[in-house]
Structure 1
Amino acid sequence: MVQFGYTMMTEQAGPRALVDDLVEAERAGFDFSVTSDHYFPWLASQGHAPYAWSVLGAGAQATERIGLMTYVTCPTVRYHPAVVAQKAATMQLLSEGRFRLGLGSGENLNEHVVGAGWPSPEVRLTMLEEAVVIIRALFTGENVDHQGEHFEVANARLWDLPGTLPPVGVAVSGRRSCAMAGRLADLVIATEPKPELIHAFDQHGGAGKPRVGQIPVCYDTDRDAAVARAHDQFRWSVGGWPVNAELPAPSSFEGATRYVTPQDMAQAIPCGDDVDDFVDAVRRYTEAGFTEVAVVQVGGEHQRPFIGWAAKELLPALREL
């Protein structure tokens, strides 16, 4: 059975609101949640970027059932993989086994802040693979020394490890990342409903593992208002990851999307309150082979109306899939 998730999007709400909305999402019946991990919003109109790991810790204490997951953390530039391993183990303990560690190669937007430069896509994938190996080694509970191409670890050990380790997910966008995810990850993560990504993941060892997708939506009883909000806060998403991973600041996304129209957004994501439009958009993921789909409601202050509508109309309709 496909599971349906709720997104705590740190770029569009402050930390207290994110946790409060997560509590409501659990009550509404969402199966799991995912959390973005950003230092900047994509666009200034979104207006937020709290520290995701503090939000996750608070969310673990405020909820009882709903799954928690980073979607995604970059363990290569802003964070060292040894520190990510410690954070993930701690989150699994705090949540009593509800946490999954989603990893990706990152975006310049968030990683440039430590002044270490922004590597090429090929190097970023190599760094991500080495980081996953380090995190897996630390999850054994043994002392780890590592001298690799990109990272060094000196006599590190995790002293607080959960009985059940957090599953590790890797975000993919092409054949090389799919091959790496198939070999090293417990689940695959993607933001596009492309069957070829799932097929490549399966070919390299991913068969039978969970596949987690994510889709933006903009619920509002006033469709025109929904379209306007989607354009104001989410037009960055139409650029595609080869572009989005390289731009360094919200102002860069403002410039890159200046020709994106509200009509473009109305075609790109479901807007309004027609449940069939939302179900059809999610169906593209289920038909592509995804076993879990998280929705992103656009607009930080518009979460509660969406969650209430989802509980009554959207989730029951999605269960029919």
Structure 2
Amino acid sequence: MRSAEVSAKISRHLERLRGWLAAGLGHPRVSAVTVREITAWRDHLAAAGGRRKDGGAVAMAPATVNNHLAHASALFSWISAHAPAALLPGGDPTKRVEPLRLPAPEVRALNAAQVRTVKNVLDRLESFHHLTGRRHRSGGRSSTHRHARPLRDRAIVHTMLGTGLRRAEIAGLDLAQLEPHEPDQLRRVKKAKLSGVRGKGRTSRSVFLGLDACTALADYLEHERGRDATADSAALFLAASSIAARRPDGRLSPRSINTIVAEIGAIHDLQIASDDRRLGRLRPHDLRHTFAYLLSQASGHNRAELERRLGHANERYLKLYTNPPEEIAAGYVEDL
């Protein structure tokens, strides 16, 4: 019932547990796993469970450590239900291991000035990918790098900024979910939407698209997507066909969405002189926070509308998403 990506993540997490046990005990037999071992594994992940690009150890985020614990707990719950009682004489060793306390969520919504300059960069995104030199110009028009897909990247960011979709939800979109999906109709229609968006917890929802997203999607579908599509390409957003390591169906991975958004953030900051508009590292969830805050303002903080559009009912995160950016919050105090 799980996607291939989620199954692969669970396998990686359990393989880390197997490696930890084998290194510490000399074998990975589940009958030897105790509360002490699971606790030590949790603490190891929190201190040095991650890896930098150079291969060095780095601390894992508490949420990632807790995700590992959840997958280990699911494994031992399955073992407890199906294996002989003698296999785990002490019972499920994960039940008495407390997850790490999560830090207070950080508000990442962009302020109005940042949203304006991000959209300005998106309007000019093609120009940043042009190759320089006379030999790259034909008919007065500059060519772009063969892997570059500026119209796709522009459409992705406008869609995230205008719908609050998560990166995995963006990567999982199919062309058939876009209504309508003909470029000329997208430019004319008053109500375009993405139907059946698959979210966390096997939820499904529909989201409406604004003018910016519709225009950007129409441009991408008309001028770029056809270059990368094959008969098996159901995904809305496709990786460049010139990339040898792309998936057989061409679908972008969630990590690719991270890279695309971060690169646009880097271009933005190179164009901006004032420090108060700089983004630092732009992440997909920053766009989700921005959408949620603007939706909260526009809907009068309507909880039902926020749950429906964000696909999230957790009170903790609804409060986070709807907190104002620091500049706006500071303005409240200044006016008192």
* TM-score between the two structures when normalised by the length of structure 1: 0.24
Instruction: Indicate the structure with greater strand content.
Output: 1
Larger radius of gyration: 2
* TM-score between the two structures when normalised by the length of structure 2: 0.23
Higher RCO (C-alpha under 8 Å, 6+ residues apart): 1
